Amino acid sequence: MQDETGTAAPAPTELKADCTQCFGLCCVALPFSASADFAIDKAAGTPCRNLRTDNRCGIHTELRQRGFNGCTVYDCFGAGQKVSQVTFQGADWRSGSGERARLMFDVFPVVRRLHELLRYLTEALDLPAARPIHPELRRELDRTEALTRRAPEELAELDVSSIRQDVNVLLLRASELARAGLGRGRKKERRGADLMGARLKGADLRGANLRGAYLIAADLTGADLRSADLIGADLRDTDLTDADLTDALFLTQPQVNAAKGSPGTRLPASVTRPGHWTP
């Protein structure tokens, strides 16, 4: 994909985690607390006890069984390899000064948020209905991509919340264009709605606005979620058995991994069926 100037947009593979090219940054930089998602406490900047010296997880195939569910629903959207191989040019946090390690750990979550925005912008550009704003989306994508390639000190100072607000305006317009004419009534405007544990079995939610909705443990068995906007929706333990999310908007792998599903659950091509779902 290129814009009018011939500038290439990030390839899809650049927005997916490649742990072989990362220094285990998510296992070191980020903190977590003992809970239903994590078996232990870990401070930011402290390596997880399961991180091996080759930067791979020692219990990767047993994370859920060992109490690390939170790890299975995390995705850096390719930020790990960007920070490791581009921002710090292949210099591991284990070598050099402690200051470099601290800077790397500060930069990683910033780039991760920028890569998440790139993921959404790339999807918006693939929406035929959003063609009227494709030039604006391309410009914003190029601007955001350029930000990810700044020097570490500049990245650490970025106001990502402000950048996200600008991008969100465009993403909302793209969503509205994609959902136009799909019977969007009052019942389908559920932006930010508290739907925790809601009984929505077989619900017609096609084209619904579910941005930021809390769907934790909701029953969406057999629901129609085609073209529903799910950006930022909390799908932890949401039952998507036999639900149709074929062309759901802005659905990410972490959201899918956090939900429950079945062989009958239909998903967009941009995400893969989690291995822990009912076979």
Q: Report pLDDT digits (tens) over 40-55.
A: 999 999 999 999 999 9
Taking only Cα atoms into account, the Rg of the chain, rounded to an integer number of angstroms, comes to: 19
Residues 149 and 200 in one domain: no
Query: Which pTM does this prediction carry?
Result: 0.91
Share of the chain above pLDDT 70, in %: 94
Residues 150 and 194 in one domain: no
Share of the chain above pLDDT 90, in %: 88
Residues 20 and 121 in one domain: yes
What does the angle CA 50 – CA 46 – CA 62 come to, to the nearest 5 degrees? 20
What pLDDT score was predicted for residue 12?
Answer: 52
What pLDDT score was predicted for residue 186?
Answer: 57
Please tell me the least confidently modeled range out of 58-72, 177-191, 251-265: 177-191
What pLDDT score was predicted for residue 111?
Answer: 97
**pLDDT digit string (tens) for 175-227?**
999 999 776 555 688 999 999 999 999 999 999 999 999 999 999 999 999 99
Q: Pick the last residue of a domain from 162, 178, 194.
A: 178
Domain membership of residue 39 (yes or no) is yes
How many Å apart are CA 279 and CA 276, to the nearest integer? 8
Residues 192 and 146 in one domain: no
What pLDDT score was predicted for residue 278?
Answer: 74
Residues 274 and 222 in one domain: yes
Region class of 25: left (phi > 0), else alpha (psi between -120 and 50), else beta: alpha
CB–CB of 86/49 below 8 Å?
no
Q: Pick the last residue of a domain from 157, 178, 199.
A: 178
**pLDDT digit string (tens) for 131-166?**
999 999 999 999 999 999 999 999 999 999 999 999
Q: How many domains does the chain have?
A: 2
Residues 163 and 218 in one domain: no
Q: Is residue 3 scored above 70 in pLDDT?
A: no
Report long-range pairs for 180-189 (Cβ below 8 Å, ≥24 apart).
180/129, 182/206, 182/207, 182/227, 183/207, 184/208, 184/209
Q: Is residue 231 scored above 80 in pLDDT?
A: yes
What pLDDT score was predicted for residue 194?
Answer: 97
How many Å apart are CA 192 and CA 93, to the nearest integer? 39
Domain membership of residue 152 (yes or no) is yes
What pLDDT score was predicted for residue 1?
Answer: 45
DSSP for residue 173: H
Residues 89 and 215 in one domain: no
Q: Pick the last residue of a domain from 178, 193, 224.
A: 178
Domain membership of residue 104 (yes or no) is yes
How many Å apart are CA 111 and CA 178, to the nearest integer? 28
The range of the structural domain enclosing residue 231 comes to: 185-279
What pLDDT score was predicted for residue 5?
Answer: 39
Which is it for the CA torsion 235, 238, 242, 243, positive or negative?
negative
Residues 213 and 127 in one domain: no
What pLDDT score was predicted for residue 6?
Answer: 45
